[in-house]
Amino acid sequence: MEYRPITESRIRERRALPGAIALLFLAAGLFRLLGTLHKPYWLDEAYSAYAADHGWAFLWSVVPRYETHPPFYYSLLHAWNLVWGNSLLASRAMSAFCGLMTLPALACAARELVRYLNVDRQRGWRIVTVALLIAALSPPLIAMSREVRPYPVMILVYAISIWGLIRLAREARDGGPLRTSSLTLFFGGEALMLWLHNLGPLYGFSLSLALLVQLLGQPIGRRDWLRTIAAQIVTGLVYLPGFLILVDQAPTWIHSTWLRLEPSALPWQICYLYHAGSPIGALFAIGLGLGGCVALARAPSGVRLAAGLLIAALLPTILSLAITLTVSPVFIVRTMTPAAVPAILIFAAGFAIRRWFWTAAALVAAMAMQQLIYDVDQLRRPPDQNWYGTIRWLQPQWHAGDELWAYPNEGALPFGYAARDLGFKVVPRSVPTVVPTLVPIEGAWHPTGSRGVVSLPRAKLHAIATTPQAEAVPTIWLLRLGAGTYDPGDVLLNELLARRQMVSRWTSGPIDIIGLRRRDVTLPTVPPAVPKNPKPSDASSP
């Protein structure tokens, strides 16, 4: 390590560091928490809450029959809710907690990177601080921390695995031994990634390949190789039940999925994922990435670590796109957000080069400013699915004896949780059954690849609409979430209209509620409502 005398400027920088880091954690917390209780669960979050509200038997025997993801995340959320309750606040708190804990995990990884690069303390603290700055303001990391989905847990676990990867890389370069704690960080994180999401194998493969690059040709002993291979085998065996779930679910998803790749949106999505946000921001990211790779390459065996971090950052996304183009669509930006973590470390590594400091500082400042503007704008945006507005529209029109029918049945999940939050005591009727519909129904099909949600043939819908119980209901409020997909031709709507009249309608984004009243019932009608919140642009939920 090069010796440098302690100057007055270095002393001032050291004194400012604790305050700067505290400010970064404060900003990270504010962006991850502000306004989250004003936004109801959207559909996927309602699925998470619904699974977590059930017991262990449901989680491990029923969920694998309809859910494409392993039940591990839902079990974590269930355990969390057993301690803190199942309110919107409690569930969102788990995601925010994981989002905030990603920062210290990333700081540990950055600190290990400093040890690998063997730079002086001043440059070391700069690397750690820059990593925290980008992570604190990163739009994808913030967005995922605000969702009751597996993604914030995946991001945290991936950061821990990358920390273990850098430790193992340094220990292998120095000739070993590979410490048990390093192997535990790496393979423990890999095992959790496999179980947290159906795309976990993409991350597991990327991590294993990145580790192999660090170990091949390094002066480590036979015992270290045996321990590493044994740990990899154990990780694979631990995941075997999850792999069997994936194999069972894959045919339905491949045959019929709601997901489609939009080539025109792909460049913007990639920019967003890797902290750029725009074509101009992409130039900042590319500049920082090149600087980081050069800094890593200058260290002993640094080319290996640069390759490992690039594999961890880029390969999951590349594999996801390859599967999308060749097998079935699986690429969604939010599922790839863990890959943003190693990219941050590559950006920060450039600060190991003293002559690169001012250029890198300017690029980071420009990136941070762009991120900050985006983050503030996102706080002002309305929810993607305005369920609270929907409930407030419906409440004054609801009368005793009315029923709300959800077709497809999954629409009842976010509606039910929003009604709970606002104290609106309505139990939706899910058509044909509550989620999941696993009983065989002749002629039914799965439009979106989910086994728990079905579309029904005309004869079944006619039978449901004409039962004596249904005809006795004064007003049926038909809730549709994606009617064009699940009810092409408005079959159920037309079956109900044959005996009823439309008295009111609410449309907001994908939410569509239609009031259908019996013709012999005379109640004050309400003119069709105009949604107060327009549908957010796709950029608000990449």
| Mean pLDDT, rounded, for 290-295 | 96
How far is Cα 373 from Cα 152, in angstroms, rounded to an integer? 22
pLDDT of 390 higher than 50: yes
| Mean pLDDT, rounded, for 277-297 | 92
Sort strands 500-508 and 511-518 into parallel, antiparallel or unpaired.
antiparallel
How far is Cα 353 from Cα 100, in angstroms, rounded to an integer? 29
Domain extent, residue 335, equals: 28-246+262-380
| 427 and 315 inside one domain | no
pTM equals 0.93
- Mean pLDDT, the chain, rounded, equals 92
Q: Say how many domains are in the chain.
A: 2
Lowest mean per-residue pLDDT among 156-170, 181-195, 251-265, 425-439: 251-265
pLDDT of 506 higher than 80: yes
- Tell me, what's the pLDDT at 261? 87
pLDDT of 132 higher than 70: yes
- Tell me, what's the pLDDT at 169? 97
| Mean pLDDT, rounded, for 59-88 | 96
Residue 256 lies in a domain: no
Residue 6 lies in a domain: no
- Tell me, what's the pLDDT at 14? 64
| 419 and 350 inside one domain | no
pLDDT of 538 higher than 50: no
| 368 and 504 inside one domain | no
Residue 443 lies in a domain: yes
| 341 and 223 inside one domain | yes
Residue 15 lies in a domain: no
Residue 8 lies in a domain: no
The closest alpha carbon to 122, from 351, 308, 356, 364, belongs to 351
| 276 and 396 inside one domain | no
| 429 and 336 inside one domain | no
pLDDT band at 522 (very low <50, low <70, confident <90, very high): confident
| 371 and 324 inside one domain | yes
pLDDT tens digits for range 203-224:
999 999 999 999 999 999 999 9
- Out of 329, 352, 380, a domain closes at 380
- Out of 380, 404, 435, a domain closes at 380
pLDDT of 29 higher than 60: yes
Residue 254 lies in a domain: no
Q: Taking the chain, what is the end-to-end CA distance rounded to the nearest angstrom?
A: 43
- Out of 318, 348, 380, a domain closes at 380
- Tell me, what's the pLDDT at 5? 54
- Tell me, what's the pLDDT at 536? 37
| Mean pLDDT, rounded, for 233-239 | 97
Residue 76: CB atoms within 10 Å: 18
| 39 and 74 inside one domain | yes
- Tell me, what's the pLDDT at 472? 95
Show the 3-state SS of 16-41.
Answer: HHHHHHHHHHHHHHHHHHCCHHHCCC
How far is Cα 419 from Cα 431, in angstroms, rounded to an integer? 18
pLDDT of 542 higher than 70: no
| 336 and 449 inside one domain | no
- Tell me, what's the pLDDT at 250? 87
Residue 12 lies in a domain: no
| 370 and 444 inside one domain | no
How far is Cα 473 from Cα 388, in angstroms, rounded to an integer? 25
Q: How far is CA 267 from the centre of its chain?
A: 19
| Mean pLDDT, rounded, for 88-95 | 96
* Positive or negative: CA dihedral 207, 210, 214, 217: positive
Strand, helix or coil for residue 5: coil
Q: Please report, rounded to a whole number, the percentage of residues in the chain having pLDDT higher than 90.
A: 83
- Tell me, what's the pLDDT at 48? 97
Show the 3-state SS of 264-295.
Answer: CCHHHHHHHHCCCCCHHHHHHHHHHHHHHHHH
pLDDT band at 493 (very low <50, low <70, confident <90, very high): very high
Sort strands 500-508 and 429-430 into parallel, antiparallel or unpaired.
unpaired
**What values do phi and psi take at 314, rounded to 5?**
-105, -35
pLDDT band at 258 (very low <50, low <70, confident <90, very high): confident
| Mean pLDDT, rounded, for 515-523 | 86
How far is Cα 306 from Cα 293, in angstroms, rounded to an integer? 6
pLDDT of 309 higher than 50: yes
Residue 290 lies in a domain: yes
| 159 and 208 inside one domain | yes
| 339 and 419 inside one domain | no
Q: Please report, rounded to a whole number, the percentage of residues in the chain having pLDDT higher than 70.
A: 93
pLDDT band at 413 (very low <50, low <70, confident <90, very high): very high
pLDDT of 393 higher than 70: yes
